[in-house]
Structure 1
């Protein structure tokens, strides 16, 4: 942003070389100017750019005096000025209106956004308008830091050749140029940033008018760029008799012609701009390049020159050809990972390796909070809790997750997944002991919530309970964490959820009412038998911070228009976005574990002026570090220039300065990037590309850090001998092996014997999925039920209007199934086509085949004698048997899924129908069914474009041989498993695995089958 020329300022300024630890040099120089007098040292003020820098300087003073008692000077971050610090705030500061509460500001702006949206014909809910209000706040803050008058300039920003939508945007922004200033004046408050800049100007003016007495030093240290209000403060410091400005890492070797024309994305652009505003020349600044007592260089001396030369602006790249150009990259290495997770794991190993060296400190510097979180998680693997300066997002703490899950559960009608997410949350207790609540939740899940979802609400749970069978595997009543009786637990849930359940889900309700009901419900759900819910919910730093935010929301959101319950989730997420808390939740959960004193995770702001022994610069890819050059949602680049807002490239320049400063802040620096982020390829950061190109031009290359090799061998067993999982081979005693199976289980026995072992011997039954949708099995039940009803009503003849009657039967069965309307509408035309096909087919069979009697859903059994383990019983139920007048029988099987192939039936892999025929011929069915089976037929009934397919398996002698072979094969199968050494293998025949393997996870099929494929067998 262009500024009017500033008058030349005469004052004392110094620059600390990049290889000198900045805060240690400041502490040493301050002690020297105080004559190392413990009392005189406390006289004065040191201004720093951040609280983290102030903390680092305090620690540096302690190091410099070796822990001896000393009076420290006042060390203050420049943004920490307020009325309480009268020495800084100035006399006029007390006359300033108070700053508006942040939540109140956002709530009011949300209302204004919604009103403006309606004027433009864009109706939005509070959850959609809140993020727009936050974007308006960001725009106002940016303009107020830059001291840009939006009131005068913004209305003219889109004048001229701009697209129509920019004109509409400017009209919308009248919220902050007209409506909002009037509201602030009416309420007697100020924007926080406007108030902060006013305080800084007031302090600067006071120092100019009434400077501190001689002998009271005031230093401003560590600034690399500055907004106008900060520049006013620095100018005032320079005007003081004992004022001193100390800057980090100014490039003193850059040619003046280059220095005066640095582009905004250059690392030194911000510093050059600031010095220009202050009227300071580089050659007039003192150079503090000596190392303080007891300190070592933070980096090799040539490294700063190397980075400065590599990052020269485009118009100065001729300097790369200088034969004296620095090329020493000692201590620099690069870490190129495949993806984000590998990058995080490798960085964690780099940090962990530093801890092997006593007293050494390691830090990760990154603007990527996702990467920081991954690295922190990886470090926990070794019991290392990193000191993360950014804290924890309020959006991710358990209390926030609990509140949002409650909203989603009630808004979703207590659907199974949403309800279980609430009552299985660690904070949920419902007035019981937490263990009893968890046991009750599991019982509720097992009895009512597995399988198709019950109807919505508490009434739906009670209806499902009335239809549920008693749980045969319930917990013992005297167990330590026994479940509550299920009806009582449902009543308890209804009481706890009552405040939210009482609100209409589809109607508009005041936001404050929604928030109050949410808090009351959450506290009731969090209460235990001994502890109040509020005490649990709002405990600790995280709970306290969330509680304060919720109190502010309750206090100020009464101005918002009414909203539906479902909008509360989005409103809560939007209002907490960007809010963090410096909590120690992870530490409290680990007995005897504390934050490690030598491992740090810093953001770019926190990393400024800090040093360590090893620093990893993580996330060095475009759009992360540096960030994307986004002008924002409100104005294009030309509009920002016209208004007077800084160019987005200034943020790139500050990120570049942070990169160079951090790269010179440690003897060993690892430059890390991932080749892919969220599955998409990345572009390496421009500074990394520049550095590689510069070194390559001089015949050098950055070495690869060995962390990826460490990571590759981390989880390998000693000696590199990987022992893959082997298929299970259970051999239970013959007395435990089943002596009766159904015809469908025989196919399972052949394809996956382990499933029979798990179901019939271990007695493990597969749990139905949560919110299980009606699938092909339900569709098949409807088709079977309709055909059974029809043939029971018409076992011999065919009515004249058979087609219409059969369609009516299918429709009646579909209605009786009580499916949700959408699914019923999807299946109805398919069932109609099946009915039409069946009617036509049956009419043709009646005409061609002569008289016959149709018998449906008949059960039978066949017993095999003279087996090693004793008699074996085969059970089965035939879908349909046609008994003809000549004594022959036709056997039918209905399929709504995949039709078996004739080959698989003849080879015995799908022998259900053949085994039923063997049972018939052995007299295993009731007396009406007797004789010779002459026909085996499969009907595949889908109701699709081709309504049905028919597979006629075999007839005559071929069928006779098939039945005999199948009976013999069954006897051999049973006899084989009567051998105690015969194991129940999992998927023993590759290519013949079952379509649905309920026990594949138990058998670890994915592990050993992968190993078998790798070994080629």
Structure 2
């Protein structure tokens, strides 16, 4: 019996290479006349399967030239051919363009605001329109007329919001059909189904046809597909060949399979064709080179028994034969990254064998990306058939960043994200543009945000130039690329963004807004030698983006005028709907080109169907991923879907289960991979793995663990014994060490010498945050400024109404800061409480003795001359110095945060005030010295060291007086000075390192250089080493 004269229904067992068997059978049917191989048509479920069958024919030809038969996906039937076969096809209205359909539906959603109680923005309405279109498509594929069935979906038992939802759905049951009739168009899916019906009718009535017609690889029973398959079976030489039909399950179980079972789709398909399994012929293999056939057959039998539905689990007890799991491995990883690294190792090891083909199959795109990145470590570029989302391509990212920057009126974070995009050049070379963007960041955008817009940036630049001069501090960091002067760079940015900034000023039609966005994007990406359009739209991803953007531009003229703010959300919704096969990863540096590895594949579930390789890793086998979470959709609950007649969400589980079972029979070696945690949360292994483990455990068996985890640990393990690494101990030359520090830096020098090294030797400064918010340091500056202004005005004189004048000084300081109103309102009562407390505290101080003079923000400078490295200068700025007639002096320091304890001051860990006292005694504050005669100066001494803690809280202020029974203030000052002298002498030795946080329990108040010094890492190492 020839292959094509067999009964119309056939199946190829799951353990055979389905597409290779199809190609071999097709070829074997015309052995006597090889030229007839090209006669006939093969219809497949999808485009990927059609390409894979083409490759199978080429393998069958083994290098010989052949004329292939027509191989088409069922959704890609030739409309012209269908029209010739069925004149009725010519009468079909055209399909509404997909983007136009979404735009019209979006307009209808915007008009249906009463269904939600609020008016949605366009970027919110577009995804709702997409969901409506998906519901229409699903209903049409399922043969459901929503206009008839939706009214029965809700009864009085359903909540009120479901009633409102159904009223909203009148958009697709009443308003949308009316629009289609008025425009003379059809929904795309409805038109495709009509063409399929016409083609099916043509096939069914082609009684004199001699060419073969095979439908292969179908596993489910959508009404539109079933009708086409009926037409195939009615063709004189029509065949329907399904993959992996289970012939061992009893008929009653097979007929009542739950939707989540791997064979449920095939059961529904046969039932829809009014056929039984007895009507299906099993095709034996016609290939002779499959040495793993027996192993795969035994494995397929084991998997089928392990996945039996609950109603048939009695078979487990009745039949205790062992499970055959040769070549089947488990891979348990701690998390997604470890899983990806282990899978990459497995694939890398697999291709060591000549001609061995390996694949990762997973619906988890994050895992696929991680594995691809790990493979790239070995120079392997895997063929990732799923491609990437259009929204993640560079040009699409640029368009969204541009929309965001303009919407936020060039706020620092948004502007920098745009300017640092690799495509942005602003009409200059890419290197110059990057250097200019970095300079703009350092000079203008770090710290408090400038005023909005280009004008705000210009004013900020003028202010900076007045304060700091026109130097380009830090520009050398961008060598060899020299930046543009900032005023010229701002002009270039303004020129490029002008169309978008102008359009964003008011609501405009979307085509106008999108055109302005496009002009700005092309201007931004223009270099000194290449137009922006050539960069923006090049390559597969650029072409796909250009088509999508053009469709959007054309379709959205039906929408009302919109503000610029909706563009980012709209672009995100539109660009997320499409994937693109980009070859960006193949472009190496310069003229080099990287090629895809011919034997390494990454497939999604759809791409993997009907495929075979030698080694296959099934990744991400956890609940919610594979199988996916069941989702009835945003519009209808499960009971409502059942009433309407839509497929149950579990049918998606059944398809995923079929993919899982098919993959287990598609390769000699299979690795089942599960991460222990996913996205930070514990992961639950896929239900099929749990079933398989339970089945094997009942027979005293378990799957073999794959050694990839051991390989992974060996890669990370150093050769030989691990050698402890000593933390860095920088020892710069003595002439490079600082010879001048402030009194506040001395405490830092004691607690964190590395910070002094980084700041004064490496000349590194921490950058201010972008869009720096007003914080505690700003509050402290307000308090210091108010007290300085008040004492500068009044000095030692005591005004009649000190509370009022102090309050005014604090409010003037607050007003001068130009804070946002909410923060000013929050700080105002706190500052007034501080003013009242200072007035009371100062009145109390003056009851005992009134000062001769009060100095604020007094500058001092003292030198330690007798040190090996040369003179060392100590500078200081005292918050307040009180001078008294008896030669006594008092030092006051204002704190709005934590005040050092007296114990720390006495012990020398907080030496600021003692050092200032020593400087004052040495005459290092000229303003203080001039208030005393020569005799008075020789007899003067510091009598008080005081901290004022000024918070303005429940306790507005408090005073801490430094004193000790064991040591006088004069001795404390001398001790601090001598300690500083000894420290300078110690660091004048090349052998003295600048250690980071050398004293546990005495950390610095501000750890600006902790990340640079890797403090956390070295601290962990010390703890693990028991130090």
> How far 1:723 sits from its partner (Å)?
4.2
Matches within 5 A, 1:855-934: 855-926=855-926, 927=929, 928=931, 930=937, 931-934=940-943
- Aligned equivalent of 1:972: 982
1:346 alignment partner, one of 338, 342, 348: 342
The aligned residue for residue 38 of structure 1 is 34
CA distance in 2, matches of 1:102, 1:45: 29
Q: Which aligned pairs between 1:79-90 and structure 2 lie closer than 5 A?
A: 79-86=75-82, 90=86
**TM-aligned CA deviation for residue 722 of structure 1:** 5.1
C-alpha displacement at 1:738, in angstroms? 2.2
Query: Which stretch shifts more, 63-72 or 419-428?
Result: 63-72
- Which residue does 2:243 correspond to in 1? 248
Matching residue of 1:993: 1003
Tell whether the 8 Å contact from 1:890 to 1:937 is kept in structure 2 after alignment. yes
SS at match of 1:133: helix
Once residues 820 and 162 of structure 1 are traced to their aligned partners in structure 2, the CA distance between those partners, rounded to angstroms, is 49
Matched, 1:71 2:67: yes
**Separation in structure 2 between the aligned mates of residue 387 and residue 978 of structure 1, nearest angstrom:** 61
Query: Do structure 1's residue 419 and structure 2's residue 428 form an aligned pair?
Result: no
Normalising by structure 2, report the TM-score. 0.95
For residues 315-354 of structure 1, the C-alpha deviation after alignment (integer angstroms, 9 at most, x for no partner) is: 1100001335451111111112222222222222221111
SS in 1 for 2:391: coil
- Give the distance between the partners of 1:944 and 1:84, measured in 2 at CA: 82
What is the CA distance between 1:220 and its match in structure 2? 0.9
Q: Which has the larger displacement, 759-768 or 61-70?
A: 759-768
Q: Which residue of 1 aligns with 2:829?
A: 829
CA gap of 1:125–1:36, structure 2 versus 1, over 3 A, is farther
The Cα shift of 1:898 comes to: 1.3
Q: Distance in 2 between matches of 1:362 and 1:54?
A: 20
Query: Which secondary structure state, in structure 2, belongs to the residue aligned with residue 138 of structure 1?
Result: helix
1:132-168 deviation digits (Å, cap 9, x = unpaired): 1011011011001001111111122213422211111
SS at match of 2:313: helix
Within 2, Cα distance between the matches of 1:120 and 1:453? 38
Cα distance in 2 for residues equivalent to 1:800 and 1:849: 18
Checking the alignment, whether the CA contact within 8 Å between 1:20 and 1:291 is kept in structure 2 is no
- Corresponding residue of 1:4: none
Secondary structure of the corresponding residue to residue 118 of structure 2: coil
Counterpart selection for 1:401 from 397, 403, 407: 397
Q: What is the aligned counterpart of 2:955 among 928, 946, 965?
A: 946
Structure 2 residue corresponding to 1:197, chosen from 190, 193, 197: 193
Q: Distance in 2 between matches of 1:722 and 1:416?
A: 45
Q: Specify which of 230, 235, 238 is matched with residue 233 of structure 2.
A: 238
Structure 1 residue aligned with 2:270: 275
1:851/1:999 CA distance change after superposition, 3 Å: closer
Deviation at 1:472, TM superposition (A): 4.8
Q: Which of these residues, 992, 997, 1008, is aligned with residue 1018 of structure 2?
A: 1008
CA contact 1:447–1:471 (8 Å) conserved in 2: no
- Say whether the 8 Å CA contact 2:396–2:575 is kept in structure 1: no
User: Contact 1:11/1:238 (CA < 8 Å) preserved in 2?
Assistant: no
CA distance in 1, matches of 2:237, 2:500: 64
Aligned to 2:137: 141
Distance 1:192 1:359 in 2: 43
1:57 matches 2:56 = no
**CA offset at residue 634 of structure 1?**
1.0
Task: Give the whole-Å Cα distance in 2 for the aligned partners of 1:245 and 1:462.
Answer: 72
CA shift, 1:755, in A, is 1.8
Please report how far the alpha carbon of residue 632 of structure 1 lies from its aligned counterpart in structure 2 after TM superposition.
Answer: 1.2
Contact 1:309-1:325 at 8 Å conserved across structures: no
- Partners in 2 of 1:908 and 1:478 — Cα distance? 43
In the alignment, the residues of structure 2 paired with residue 826 and residue 313 of structure 1 have an alpha-carbon distance, to the nearest angstrom, of 65
- Whole-angstrom CA distance in 1 between matches of 2:178 and 2:292: 55
Question: How many pairs align?
Answer: 1006
User: Which residue does 2:281 correspond to in 1?
Assistant: 286
In the other structure, the counterpart of 2:220 is 225
Q: Which residue of 1 aligns with 2:3?
A: none
Unpaired segments ≥5 residues, structure 1: 1-9
| Alignment TM-score, normalising by the size of structure 1 | 0.96
Distance 2:746 2:654 in 1: 72
Query: Aligned runs of 1:578-597 on 2, under 5 Å?
Result: 578-589=577-588, 591-597=592-598
Measured in 1, the distance between the counterparts of 2:542 and 2:523 equals: 16
Identify the residue that residue 744 of structure 1 maps to in structure 2: 744
* More displaced stretch, 956-965 vs 53-62: 956-965
2:652 aligned residue:
651
Matches of 2:871 and 2:224 in 1, distance apart?
96
Label 1:265 to 1:557 Cα distance change in 2 as closer, same or farther (>3 A): same
Q: 1:623 to 1:939 in 2, by over 3 A?
A: same
* Paired residues of 2:115 and 2:167 also in contact (CA < 8 A): no
Report if aligned partners of 1:899, 1:940 keep a CA contact under 8 Å in 2. Answer: yes
Say whether the 8 Å CA contact 2:331–2:672 is kept in structure 1. Answer: yes
- The verdict on how the C-alpha distance between 1:680 and 1:874 changes in structure 2, with shifts beyond 3 A counting, is same
Say if 1:89 and 1:200, in contact at 8 Å, map to a contact too. Answer: no
Aligned counterparts of 2:826 and 2:588: Cα–Cα separation in 1: 51
Please report how far the alpha carbon of residue 448 of structure 1 lies from its aligned counterpart in structure 2 after TM superposition: 0.8
Hey, what's the Cα distance between the residues in 2 that align with 1:30 and 1:684?
41
Give the SS at the match of 2:256.
coil
Give the Cα separation in 1 of the matches to 2:971 and 2:85: 104
With 204-213 and 916-925 compared, the bigger mean Cα shift is at: 204-213
Q: Quick one: distance in 1 between partners of 2:173 and 2:912?
A: 79
Alignment-derived partner of residue 3 in structure 1: none
Q: 1:477 and 1:779, CA in 2 relative to 1: closer, same or farther beyond 3 A?
A: closer
Alignment match, 1:329: 325
Aligned to 1:7: none
Structure 2 vs 1, CA of residues 938 and 101 (structure 1 numbering), >3 Å: closer, same or farther?
A: same
Tell me, in whole angstroms, the C-alpha distance in 1 between the residues paired with 2:53 and 2:772. 60
Q: Could you tell which deviates more after superposition, 760-769 or 529-538?
A: 760-769
Residues 851/642 of structure 1: CA separation in 2 closer, same or farther (3 Å cut): closer
Is residue 83–residue 89 contact of structure 2 (8 Å, CA) maintained in 1?
no
Moved more, 161-170 or 467-476: 467-476
Deviation by residue 1:702-735 (Cα, 9 ceiling, x = unmatched): 12222222222323322252544x3222222222
Structural mapping, 1:679-698, within 5 Å = 679-698=680-699
Give the SS at the match of 1:719. coil
Is residue 803–residue 839 contact of structure 1 (8 Å, CA) maintained in 2?
yes
For the pair 1:936 / 2:961, whether they are aligned, the reply is no
Note the C-alpha offset of 1:479: 6.5
- How far 1:51 sits from its partner (Å)? 1.3
Q: Which residue of 2 aligns with 1:546?
A: 545
| Cα shift readout 1:821-873 (whole Å, capped 9, x = no counterpart) | 33322222211111111111111111233454211111112222322222222
What secondary structure does 2:599 align onto? strand
Give unmatched runs, 5+ long, in structure 2: 1-5
- Runs of 4+ residues deviating >6 angstroms: 476-479
Task: Give yes or no for contact 1:302–1:326 (8 Å, CA) kept in 2.
Answer: no
Report Cα offsets for 1:395-441 as digits up to 9, x if no partner: 11111110111111111121111111111111100011111111111
More displaced, 545-554 or 796-805? 796-805
Write the distance in 1 (CA, Å) between the matches of 2:196 and 2:918: 97
Corresponding residue to 1:20 among 13, 16, 22: 16
Q: Are the equivalent residues in 2 in contact too, given 1:21–1:297 (CA < 8 A)?
A: no
Partner residue, 1:786: 786
Indicate conservation of the 8 Å contact 2:82/2:199, yes or no.
Answer: no
Q: Tell me: CA distance 1:478–1:849, structure 2 relative to 1, closer, same or farther (3 Å).
A: closer
Give the aligned partner of residue 801 of structure 1. Answer: 801
Q: Does 1:712 align with 2:708?
A: no
Q: Name the counterpart of 2:530.
A: 531
Distance 1:519 1:89, change over 3 A: farther
Give the alignment of 1:175-190 within 5 angstroms: 175-190=171-186
How far apart are the structure 2 equivalents of 1:851 and 1:904? 28
Q: How does 1:376-525 map to 2 (within 5 A)?
A: 376-468=372-464, 469=468, 470-473=470-473, 475=475, 481-505=481-505, 507-525=506-524
Secondary structure of residue in 2 paired with 1:497: helix
